[in-house]
Amino acid sequence: MLSPGLTEAELAQLMCFDNWERYEAARAKGRGVVVAVAHFGNWELMARAAVQRGMQLTAITRALRGRLNEMILAARRREGGMRELPEKGSTDAALRLLRRGETLGVIVDQNMRPSRGIFVDFFGEPACTTPAAAVLALRTGASLMACFSLRGPDGTHRATFEGPFAPPPGARGQPAVRALTQEVTRAVERAVRAHPDHWFWVHRRWKTRPPEALPPSAS
């Protein structure tokens, strides 16, 4: 809530990045970068700091209602410089921006309906997860990475990039999508295991169950 009032110098002191050169190397390939993110740490501050450092960032987001959410969304655009695409009907726009060499943020820790997700392992349980990050990276040749922000004892924040991730050699189509989706989900799990207090997720992450896990009357 306070980040829109920060100067560029204050923001640079408050949020730093580890492995930024890893992101730059991926971007230098010219095919765009897909960054998988989660509701972990201060993701709003991380996005604004990344844009300040030169990241051309667009994020696929769900529509948010309410006055407070409207203020947050307005601050993202006005102060943060982050653009947004709706979660539905934006595939073509996402492909275009990646092919221009830009960066797309995809949130990967939300429960999905069976028609829009695939099941991968998350903390030992099948979790219906968006394949969007993997699909878009594979279709464009973009690098697929993950990034998470940690808050230090002094109140500053440090974001770290993981990846780029690649499917197993020879994997194509759905097996490649599933393998990459599992990789970014493992990255989320590693972050949450190390810092569970940073994961802000109050919804039912495992709400959607695979058919084989349902009782006979529900299948």
Q: Is residue 29 pLDDT above 60, yes or no?
A: yes
* Residues 205, 177: Cα–Cα separation, whole Å: 20
Compare 65 and 142 and report the one with higher pLDDT. 142
Does residue 76 lie in a domain region? Answer: yes
CB atoms within 10 A of CB 61: 17
- Across the range 137-142, mean pLDDT stands at 97
Query: Alpha-carbon Rg of the chain, whole angstroms?
Result: 17
Q: Which of 42-51, 127-136, 142-151 has the lowest mean pLDDT?
A: 42-51
Which pLDDT score, from 0 to 100, does residue 72 have?
Answer: 64
Single out the residue of 188, 174, 149, 196 nearest to residue 36, CA to CA.
188
Which pLDDT score, from 0 to 100, does residue 122 have?
Answer: 98
Secondary structure E strands in 82-194: 83-86, 103-107, 118-122, 125-129, 143-151, 157-165
Does residue 118 lie in a domain region? Answer: yes
Using one digit for the tens of pLDDT, what is the confidence trace for 39-89? 999 988 899 899 989 999 999 876 666 676 666 666 655 555 678 787 778
Does residue 105 lie in a domain region? Answer: yes
Does residue 134 lie in a domain region? Answer: yes
Does residue 10 lie in a domain region? Answer: no
Look at the chain and report how many structural domains it folds into.
Answer: 1
Does residue 216 lie in a domain region? Answer: no
Does residue 57 lie in a domain region? Answer: yes
Residues 6+ apart with CB under 8 A from 211: 219
Domain range enclosing 137 = 20-209
- Claim: this prediction has a pTM higher than 0.85: yes
Using one digit for the tens of pLDDT, what is the confidence trace for 81-112? 678 787 778 899 999 999 999 999 999 999 99
Does residue 91 lie in a domain region? Answer: yes
Q: Which of 18-27, 58-67, 171-180, 188-197 has the lowest mean pLDDT?
A: 58-67
